[in-house]
A and B are shown apart, each in its own frame.
Chain A
Amino acid sequence: MPAVSKGDGMRGLAVFISDIRNCKSKEAEVKRINKELANIRSKFKGDKALDGYSKKKYVCKLLFIFLLGHDIDFGHMEAVNLLSSNKYTEKQIGYLFISVLVNSNSELIRLINNAIKNDLASRNATFMNLALHCIANVGSREMAEAFASDIPRILVAGDTMDSVKQSAALCLLRLNRTSPDLVPMGEWTARVVHLLNDQHLGVVTAATSLITTLAQKSPDDFKTSVSLAVARLSRIVTSASIDLQDYTYYFVAAPWLSVKLLRLLQCYPPPEDASLRSRLSECLETILNKAQEPPKSKKVQHSNAKNAVLFEAIALIIHHDSEPNLLVRACNQLGQFLQHRETNLRYLALESMCTLASSEFSHEAVKTHIETVISALKTERDVSVRQRAVDLLYAMCDRSNSKQIVAEMLSYLETADYSIREEIVLKVAILAEKYAVDYTWYVDTILNLIRIAGDYVSEEVWYRVIQIVINRDDVQGYAAKTVFEALQAPACHENLVKVGGYILGEFGNLIAGDPRSSPLVQFNLLHSKFHLCSVPTRALLLSAYIKFINLFPEVKGTIQDVLRSDSQLRNADVELQQRAVEYLRLSCIASTDILATVLEEMPPFPERESSILAKLKKKKGSSKLPDMDDSRKNVNGSAEHAEDAEVASKVPSHTFTDNLSVNSAPSSGASLLVDVFSDFSSAAPTESSDEHFPRFVCKNNGVIYENQLLQIGLKSEYRQNLGRMYVFYGNKTSTQFQSFSTSVSSNDVLCSQLNVQEKPVDPLIEAGAQVQQILNIECVSDFSDAPVLNIQFRYGGTLQNIAVKLPVMLNKFFQPTEMTSQDFFQRWKQLGAPQQEVQKIFIAKNQMDTDVTKAKLLGFGVALLDGVDPNPVNFVGAGIIHTKTTQVGCLLRLEPNTQAQMYRLTLRTSKESVSQRLCELLSEQF
């Protein structure tokens, strides 16, 4: 098929593109483009109306210029014109321009919405597809608002063409991602599930993606998809490769669809129904068997497609984590791939094995491949593959192989790429701590880390080694001896000086009996490093010196001399100077008893999560990490400590922090150490919040609550006396929230006036993730209080309580009512009884802007009636409050007085309590 004559040959465009390509320099190109832009601009502005062809040509040129990386700020209107044309060729270019250039320029979207509507209704498959592609490509909220309700209809209609169904399914998927709240669930959902049975495999392919997305949103509604997906999958994997005709890809039957079906099944636990379950197991076994068969083609596409399905099947097996037999088979299969000649497969095998290692059924099987993984670490030429090997070693590490793995990682560290060194350091530090049986090994490992990759050892790592040494007295002597020896090296890393200074300052006495490490030798050794160190380290060393004065009275004179020297007492750095002055003074005036108390050994640190682990989680996201819980118990004894508020409150009495860090300048060494203590674990008292409450009177969406941990966003919609509120809980931390639960409480009076029903919410919120909860609200009768949303969850061992006043107010159940001036006044008069009217005069808190006021009143829920009030600056509105029991008509009038900066608000309703409440709510808004 001679293809290039295709298209309508816009000669001008081709000439322009050739010109650009012939440009010898960037400047020439820019010049040519600017010339063209000027030309197009003048054509668009010219008096002569352009014909469709020229318009199309110019819009195409603009598109080309944009794709070269230049900004385009005009031509949108012409594109909109093209898009509305009924000539296919123009329409197509118009749509393309909009899809490529428009992100979510809402003004423009509104302009094209109409044209899109027409095309959707055209019953011409090609036009409909263009429109659907455009919606899916732009995918903005405005689009969702305009079309989210039409598309399901197109999708399930019996007479829709297959190709349109495909586009509609994925279009809906995109809208659901952008604005899940706008895609209404309904009776169409059941029919969508049945698309899994469709004759046309393309339709099934598209629909499976949509169903997966929707099933993640509301798993219960799509439960039936499991059996259909298993049936479909079973048919595919058992089919002969030619059965599926064009859906067979290099002898693999429908690989894309298979992957999608396996992915859909990962939204659900293993099927409970025994026959379904065994049918699924058969499928998975067949897929595993096929991996052992000789390849049907030598082409890499064949093996890729086949293995894509295989890896997805393994992902499902791991997700179910219930069939030991399958898990072990999966592991063996991956083991074969570890030595495959294709780099891609080795990479993926290492990656998948990481997740297998976390299953109790396959952990042992994964461990048998340790030698292969270690050799991958040494021999792989591609750093991203080596990185995977490090991850896998980390994941498969346990008490039995930790020494070997840590040793291998340490030796790899010496030659590792700079980009991954820090991560390896963190991993080694964590493994060494987690699996340390004897802590001398742990201390050696960390000191080795500092020796090999001192620059990549972050604060957290050396803080942690100090915390552990202080908390475990069996290792203190060894630690003192080891750091002393390490410090003998002529050039040692500053981090080692920090650890050495701190440990000798605390436990130098444990090795002082040996004449080779007498107090004076220790001091001289430390002080020989002093001048090479940065200010924070020097500050830390000064603190170590004052501790020496307490530990070893015999070196007091020597140390006082050092403190007294000009280089200390007159140091340019204020922190160092102050320490020298204060420590010197302290050593002169305080008695030995006082010194002994003030400079007492550090008390054990309170239990907390390893700061290193927190750091690694921040780097990697928490999902891939093994749990550290058991190690915390090892190091510090009881884990219950964590919730003991008393322990936390004792922390400020730490001598090191209180007495030594006299000045708490942020750069001081001691205060650096304090920083790690800052996240005390304790049960936080209930935080309650209604500060954002008033902001929701005139709007329905926004953030209602936010602290360092949690952000709560709301979206709500109301119809008559019913409302639905979507509450979004966002975890802002790098740690999972556990036991997350919520409840809505109302006081006794409110209970009978307002029903709030909560849908269940996920008890886990992953780091950085957001979960959604739906509240259904029914207004029984008018009310003036607001329900309270109570939230409870565990964050790093601490129970958090938050109470938020939910912005459900009476005015949310307004239905705006349009009426003529005559009607208005007639009703106004009818509501003339004194108790029906409430009036309030108040001072404007904000600037008095007509448009803002208008928007607020509309947001409040009433219809604004123009031309009713004789004075045009006044606002008049009307609406009906819907409750289950009654409907209350409501009229309002707002009179701004700009000179006095005051408002007068008058409300008349048929019910006194309603008038009161509405007046209270609204008067706070201006």
Chain B
Amino acid sequence: MVYGGSEAAHLFRRKFSALFMMQFMLLFSRQGKLRLQKWYVPLSDKEKKKITRELVQTVLARKPKMCSFLEWRDLKIVYKRYASLYFCCAIEDQDNELITLEIIHRYVELLDKYFGSVCELDIIFNFEKAYFILDEFLLGGEAQETSKKNVLKAIEQADLLQENIDFQMRLFAGRQRCRDPSQRAGGNWTHINTFSIIVILLIITL
């Protein structure tokens, strides 16, 4: 059978669509621990684990001065190491390697800006944030918003929404939990926004 197995079926489908896109992105540590995985093609958990295992091994075995691209199965792997973390993307044959390398870099910049000099620990403890930022930046394997300012603005707004709902909950529940909002150093802009959102939310709930 030519098309035995779901993986073959997957490849078949991909060729049919003949598109250029990122297939998946993996972040893993020097010790080979996976820190973030994002899949833009449907694969079973088993296949994902197999791919991850193989790829982590392959990439970790490469020497520092080697080129950042390699052929792997029928995909191209683009990877780069930042401190203790490897960022690794799989793209298709005709896809642009250099721009993918810069996608990785822009994502690192976004993390850096958001966490303030990001380190592996930030990504471990705030993994959900790492995912949210990635979703704002890349969607369906394609760059959605390449402006650093705009991506961070979207995340900040969501964060604000979150805090103010928390704050509002506290008002309603009448208890003081979490931390003091005034600890947050934000400009006037933040406060105005905070205020207006609270007002809006109050109106909605009432």
Q: Which of B99, B116, B185 contacts A308 (CB 8 A)?
A: B99
Do A2 and B68 have beta carbons less than 8 Å apart? no
Stretch of A199-207, A290-298, A439-447 with 4 or more beta carbons under 8 angstroms from chain B: A199-207
Of residues 133 to 186 in A, which have CB atoms within 8 Å of B's CB atoms? 133, 136-137, 139-140, 163, 166-167, 170-171, 173-174, 177-178, 180
Q: How far is the CB of B70 from chain A (nearest CB, A)?
A: 5
* Contact in complex: B161, A174 (CB < 8 Å): no
The distance from the CB of A199 to the nearest CB of chain B, in whole angstroms, is: 13
Chain A interface, >50% SS class: helix
With the chains together, A733 CA to B15 CA distance in Å?
A: 13
Q: How far is the CB of A197 from chain B (nearest CB, A)?
A: 18
Contact A770-B12, Cβ < 8 Å, known A69-B49, A308-B96: yes
Assembled-state Cα–Cα distance A96/B130 (Å): 11
A residues in contact with B103, CB < 8 Å: 256
How far apart sit A132 and B114, CA to CA, in the bound complex (Å)? 23
Q: Which of B69, B122, B150, B186 contacts A202 (CB 8 A)?
A: B150
Residues A694-753 near B (CB distance < 8 A): 708, 711, 728, 730, 732-733
CA A730 to CA B66, docked complex, whole Å: 38
* Distance between B84 CB and nearest chain A CB, rounded to angstroms: 14
Q: Do B127 and A5 touch across chains, with their CB atoms under 8 A apart? A: no
Select one of B122, B166, B184 contacting A8, CB under 8 A: B166
CB contact list, B50-105 vs A, under 8 A: 65-71, 74, 93-94, 96-99, 101-103, 105
Q: Are B74 and A140 in contact (CB under 8 A)?
A: no
Q: Are A167 and B139 closer than 8 Å at their CB atoms?
A: yes
Q: Pick the contact of B132: A21, A67, A96 (CB < 8 A).
A: A96
Expressed in whole angstroms, the Cα–Cα distance for A216 and B17 within the complex equals 8
Q: Is the CB of A249 within 8 A of B102?
A: yes
Contact A96:B131 (CB < 8 A) given known A4-B122, A177-B17, A768-B12: yes
Asked if B185 contacts A769 (CB within 8 A), the reply is no
Q: Does B189 contact A (CB under 8 A)?
A: no
Indicate which residue in A100, A309, A384 contacts B66 across the interface (CB closer than 8 Å). Answer: A384
How far is A8 from B127 in the complex, measured between Cα atoms in Å? 13
Q: Whole-angstrom distance between the alpha carbons of A249 and B34 in the complex? A: 29
Q: How far is the CB of A195 from chain B (nearest CB, A)?
A: 13
Q: Are B115 and A216 in contact (CB under 8 A)?
A: no
User: Which residues, 767 to 826 on A, are CB-close (under 8 Å) to B?
Assistant: 768-772
Residues 1-30 of chain B, each 1 if its beta carbon lies under 8 Å from chain A, else 0 = 011000000011101111111000000000
Bound-complex Cα distance A249 to B110 (A): 13
Q: Are B45 and A103 in contact (CB under 8 A)?
A: yes
Residue B193 at the chain A interface, CB threshold 8 Å: no
Q: How far is the CA of A487 from the CA of B69 in the complex (A)?
A: 43
A87-95, A397-405, A573-581, A595-603: which one contacts chain B?
A87-95
Is the Cβ of A621 less than 8 Å from the Cβ of B98? no
Which of chain B's residues 138-167 have a Cβ closer than 8 Å to chain A? 139-150, 154, 157-159, 161-163, 165-166
Q: What 0/1 pattern do residues 101 to 113 of B give for CB contact below 8 A with A? A: 1110110000000
A386 to chain B, nearest CB (A): 11
Is A170 touching B140 in the complex (CB atoms < 8 A)? yes
Say yes or no: B147 contacts A1, CB within 8 Å.
no
Contact, CB under 8 Å: B42 / A96: no
**Residue of B34, B116, B135 touching A67 (CB-CB under 8 A):** B34
Taken together as a complex, chains A and B put the C-alpha atoms of A417 and B164 apart, in Å, by: 60
Within 8 Å by CB of B147, from A129, A213, A247, A346, lies A247
Given A2-B116, A140-B42, A171-B139, A384 and B71 contact (CB-CB distance below 8 Å)? yes
> Contacts A8-B166, A69-B49, A259-B96; is A126 near B158 (CB within 8 Å)?
yes
Q: Across the interface, which residues of B come within 8 angstroms of A132, CB to CB? A: 139
Q: Does B196 contact A (CB under 8 A)?
A: no
Contact A770 B15 (CB under 8 A): yes
B54: min CB distance to chain A, Å: 14
Produce 1/0 per residue, A245-263, CB < 8 A to B: 1110100001111011001
Given A315-B94, A384-B70, A769-B18: A301 in contact with B102 (beta carbons within 8 A):
yes
Taking a contact as CB atoms under 8 Å apart, the answer to whether A301 and B105 are in contact is yes
Residues of B within 8 A of A92 (CB): 128, 132, 158, 162
Q: How far is the CA of A92 from the CA of B126 in the complex (A)?
A: 14
Complex alpha-carbon distance, A132 and B149, angstroms? 21
Q: Does A311 contact B (CB under 8 A)?
A: yes
Q: CA–CA, A171 to B42, complex, Å?
A: 15
> Are A63 and B70 neighbours in the complex by a CB distance under 8 Å?
no
Task: Name the CB-closest residue of B to A140.
Answer: B42
Contact status B15-A3, CB under 8 Å: no
Contact B128 A63 (CB under 8 A): yes
Interface size class of B (residues with CB under 8 A): 35 or more
In the complex, what residues of A have CB within 8 A of residue B19's CB? 177, 212-213, 216
**Are the CB atoms of B128 and A6 closer together than 8 Å?**
no
Contact assessment for A88 and B67 in the assembled complex, using a CB-CB cutoff below 8 Å: no
> How far is it, in angstroms, between the C-alpha of A682 and the C-alpha of B122 when the chains are bound?
65
Judge whether B199 is part of the interface by a CB distance below 8 angstroms.
Answer: no
Residues of chain A within 8 A (CB-CB) of B124 are 17, 21
**Is A312 close to B, CB under 8 A?**
yes
Closest to A11 in B: B178
A730 touches B128 (CB 8 A): no
Let me know if A551 is at the binding interface, CB within 8 A.
no
Residue of A nearest to B97 (CB): A348
The verdict on B44 contacting chain A, using a C-beta distance below 8 Å, is yes
CB atoms of A201 and B140 under 8 A apart: no
**Interface core residue of A171, A728, A770 (most chain B CB under 10 Å):** A770
Give the shortest distance, in Å, between B92 (CB) and chain A (any CB): 12
- B66 near A170: Cβ-Cβ < 8 Å: no
Q: Which residues of B contact A104 (CB under 8 A)?
A: 42
Chain B residues with CB under 8 A of A851: none
Contact (Cβ within 8 A) B15 A769: yes
Partner of B131, one of A69, A100, A209, A732: A100
Most chain A beta-carbon neighbours within 10 Å: one of B17, B43, B68, B98: B98
B16 — which chain A residues lie within 8 A by C-beta?
A: 728, 730, 769-772
Q: Give CA–CA (A387, B178) in the complex, Å.
A: 57
CB neighbours (8 Å) of B34 from chain A are 67-69
**B71 to chain A: closest residue by CB:** A384
Give CA–CA (A177, B40) in the complex, Å. 11
Q: Does A344 contact B (CB under 8 A)?
A: yes
CB distance from B129 to the nearest CB of A (A): 6
Do residues B161 and A126 form an inter-chain contact, with CB atoms below 8 A? yes
Q: Which residues on A sit within 8 Å (CB–CB) of B176?
A: none
**A311-B96 contact in complex given A17-B125, A213-B19, A249-B106, C-beta closer than 8 Å:** yes
How many Å from the CB of A87 to the closest CB on chain B? 5
B132 neighbours in A (Cβ, 8 Å): 92, 96
B162 partner, pick from A3, A8, A140, A212, beta carbons under 8 A: A8
Q: Which residues of chain B are within 8 angstroms of A621 by Cβ–Cβ distance?
A: 74, 93
A256 touches B143 (CB 8 A): yes
Q: Indicate if A916 sits at the interface (CB-CB under 8 A).
A: no
Q: Name the one of A6, A71, A213, A772 contacting B129, with C-beta atoms under 8 angstroms.
A: A6
Which residues of A are found within 8 Å of B169, using beta-carbon distances? Answer: 87
* A139:B42 contact, CB within 8 angstroms: yes
Q: How far is the CB of A733 from chain B (nearest CB, A)?
A: 8
B76 to chain A, nearest CB (A): 9
Task: Using CB atoms, name the residue of chain A closest to B8.
Answer: A768
Q: Is A220 an interface position by the 8 A CB rule?
A: no
In the assembled complex, the Cα of A249 lies from the Cα of B135 at a distance in Å of 20
Chain B contacts of A385 at CB under 8 A? 67
Which residues on A sit within 8 Å (CB–CB) of B43? 103
A347 adjacent to chain B (CB < 8 Å) = yes
Tell me the minimal C-beta distance from A32 to chain B in angstroms: 15
Alpha-carbon separation in the docked complex, A525 to B70 (Å): 47
Interface CB pairs A-B, < 8 A, 22: A3-B116, A8-B162, A9-B179, A67-B37, A96-B131, A99-B131, A167-B139, A173-B140, A177-B21, A206-B142, A212-B19, A247-B147, A249-B146, A257-B146, A301-B105, A307-B98, A315-B96, A343-B67, A384-B70, A733-B2, A769-B16, A770-B16
5 A-B pairs besides A88-B161, A206-B143, A344-B69 with CB distance below 8 A are A4-B122, A5-B183, A9-B178, A174-B141, A247-B147
Closest 4 CB pairs of A and B: A770-B16, A174-B140, A308-B98, A308-B99
